[in-house]
Structure 1
Amino acid sequence: MAISTYAVAVGGNRRGRHGTPRAEVRAALALLGGTPSPIIDTPPLGPSIRRFANAVTVIASAEPPAALLARLKTVERAAGRRAGRRWGARVLDLDIVLWSGGRLATRPLTLPHPAFRTRAFVLRPLLAVAPGWRDPVTGLRVRHLHARLTRARPINRPRGTW
């Protein structure tokens, strides 16, 4: 059985049975194993008003992507995740971001995660544990994706307004 490597994003912004969102993320990282990033605090996207605790872990597994996704959803439900509003508050959110097998496009799962390149709350922790991992779509390494996303952009001012 072939072993694959996965980068799994871990986040949450509601208290759960382990306590604070940071404690929930810490518990999920311990359960998943692998090489965890530091946990960072980030502002929410969408309608939620609560800050998120976010991290990434790099794990090795013999599970194919669909089986790992099913296991992650089971972990979310066990932590108290309930179906609800997209981008709303949640105890735990687990997403497969990258897979050593490259690309995958099925109905329940697209790899790499379609939005990971635009999310600093994923790229910053991923940078800590897998800076050299190449995005199979762009060919860029995680460190380059992070630099592109976070670099300062010049202010476009009309000529003669200095």
Structure 2
Amino acid sequence: MTSSDPTVQPVPASVVERVDAADVTLSNPKRAVISLGGNLGNRLDTLQGAVDALEDTPGVRVKAVSPVYETEPWGVPPGSQPSYFNAVVLVRTTLPPASLLERGHAIEEAFHRVRDEHWGPRTLDVDIVAYQGVVSDDPQLTLPHPRAHERAFVLAPWHDVDPDAEVPGRGTVADLLAELGREGVRVRADLELRLPE
């Protein structure tokens, strides 16, 4: 893995290979990109819990986990909310997109996500950013995520785990990130999410 940020550490090949070996338990898996974020409670523990819950889902294998980023809240006045921790997870899955979304919502609920306010603070956000081979304008699950290309807090960790990734219809993650810049988005080299054993 390469990154323009020298503080970002690559995902060890041995870890990726170990997780790849688990793919044999899935029949014809698809690749999906999932964004995690939260700005309430113990943010790191919550993100780790979400990673573990994804791995515990039948038909889902976690392949890679990005570094943790600390980011300014998006879509709200500066200083009106605590900062977020964000990360991106790459998975292989046999679940269809709708079922993966349902699982994401269940994980959010397990961590007491409340949906009182648009762009309000939350313990956990689990968003499907992209799903292999699927482009959809379904309002329940638009793929790729309709605002992923505008969000450095999604693009930066996604680029870390998949430098060659593309947002269908928008361009490469690298180019989109270069255009947006990284203002308000910084890697937390002192924090780490573990790949499930």
TM-score, length-scaled by structure 2: 0.70
Does the 8 A contact of 1:102 with 1:136 survive in 2? no
Task: Give the alignment partner of residue 51 of structure 2, picking from 4, 29, 36.
Answer: 29
Give the share of equivalent positions with the same residue, in percent: 35
Structure 2 CA distance for aligned equivalents of residues 149 and 100 of structure 1: 24
C-alpha displacement of 1:107: 2.8
Does the 8 A contact of 2:152 with 2:182 survive in 1? no
Structure 2 CA distance for aligned equivalents of residues 116 and 55 of structure 1: 13
State which structure, 1 or 2, has the greater radius of gyration over its C-alpha atoms: 1
Structure 2 CA distance for aligned equivalents of residues 42 and 109 of structure 1: 24
Q: Which aligned pairs between 1:143-154 and structure 2 lie closer than 5 A? A: 143-150=174-181
Amino acid at match of 2:71: T
Task: Give the alignment partner of residue 142 of structure 1, picking from 173, 178, 188.
Answer: 173
Structure 2 CA distance for aligned equivalents of residues 121 and 91 of structure 1: 16
Taking only aligned residues, the RMSD between alpha carbons, in angstroms, comes to 1.7
Matched residue SS, 2:166: coil
Q: Alignment length, in residue pairs?
A: 147
C-alpha displacement of 1:8: 0.3
Structure 1 CA distance for aligned equivalents of residues 63 and 116 of structure 2: 29
Q: Which residue of 1 aligns with 2:189?
A: none
Q: Which residue of 2 aligns with 1:54?
A: 86
Gaps of 5+ in 1: 153-162
Q: Which residue of 2 aligns with 1:124?
A: 156
Q: Which aligned pairs between 1:1-162 and structure 2 lie closer than 5 A? A: 2-15=28-41, 20-32=42-54, 33-45=62-74, 46=76, 48-138=80-170, 140-150=171-181
With CA pairs under 8 Å and 6+ residues apart, which has the higher RCO, 1 or 2? 2
C-alpha displacement of 1:101: 1.2
Structure 1 CA distance for aligned equivalents of residues 165 and 159 of structure 2: 9
Amino acid at match of 2:86: N
Distance of aligned partners of 1:89 and 1:136 in 2 relative to their CA distance in 1, 3 Å threshold: same
Question: Which is worse superposed, 110-119 or 140-149?
Answer: 140-149
1:44-70 residue CA offsets vs partner (Å, 9 max, x unmatched): 122651100000001000011111000
C-alpha displacement of 1:128: 0.5
Gaps of 5+ in 2: 1-26, 55-61, 184-197
Structure 2 CA distance for aligned equivalents of residues 75 and 94 of structure 1: 8
